[in-house]
C-alpha cells in the first residue's frame, strides 16, 4: 500500500481559478461599511491625536481600509487638520504611515 500524501486532501487543487474566486467571495462577505462619525467623535479623535503628538504617548489607532476596520499600535509623528492628513509610526515595523484623518474611526491611548 502506498501513501498518497496531500493528494488525498486536495482533490480540486488542479483548478486554481476556483480558489481565487472563492477567496474573493469570502473577502467580499467580510467587508463592512465605513462607520459614520459624529462631530463630537471627530473632535475627540482630533484632541487625542494632538495630545499624543505633544506628549509622545503610544496610541491604538483604528482605521477603515478596503472594507475592513484595522487597529494598530504606534506613535503619532505629524498631524495636519487642514490637510486632512496625519503620520504615525507603527510599533511592529517602525515604519512611517501617512493616512487621511477621514479614515480614522477611533484613537485611544495605550
**CATH code at position 69:** 2.30.30.520
C-alpha cell belonging to residue 41: 467623535
**In the 8-state DSSP scheme, what is residue 55?**
H
- Give me the number of domains the chain comprises: 1
Average pLDDT over residues 65-86: 90
Contact 91, 58 (CB under 8 A): yes
Residue 19 lies in a domain: no
Residue 7 lies in a domain: no
Domain that holds residue 49: 39-109
What pLDDT, on the 0 to 100 scale, is given for residue 108? 94
Q: Is the pLDDT of residue 100 over 60?
A: yes
pTM of the entire structure?
0.72
Which position has the grid cell 474573493?
Answer: 24
Residue 16 lies in a domain: no
Which position has the grid cell 503620520?
Answer: 87
Q: What pLDDT, in 10s, does the model give residues 16-61?
A: 777 788 888 888 888 889 899 999 999 999 899 999 999 999 999 9
Amino acid at each position: 500500500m502506498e501513501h498518497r500524501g496531500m493528494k488525498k486532501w486536495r482533490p480540486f487543487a488542479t483548478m486554481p481559478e476556483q480558489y481565487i474566486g472563492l477567496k474573493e467571495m469570502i473577502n467580499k462577505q467580510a467587508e463592512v461599511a465605513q462607520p459614520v462619525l459624529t462631530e463630537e467623535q471627530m473632535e475627540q479623535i482630533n484632541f487625542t491625536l494632538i495630545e499624543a503628538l505633544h506628549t509622545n504617548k503610544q496610541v491604538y489607532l483604528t482605521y477603515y481600509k478596503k472594507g475592513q476596520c484595522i487597529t494598530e499600535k504606534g506613535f503619532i509623528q505629524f498631524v495636519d487638520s487642514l490637510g486632512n492628513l496625519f503620520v504615525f509610526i507603527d510599533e511592529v515595523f517602525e515604519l512611517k504611515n501617512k493616512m487621511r484623518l477621514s479614515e480614522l474611526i477611533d484613537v485611544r491611548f495605550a
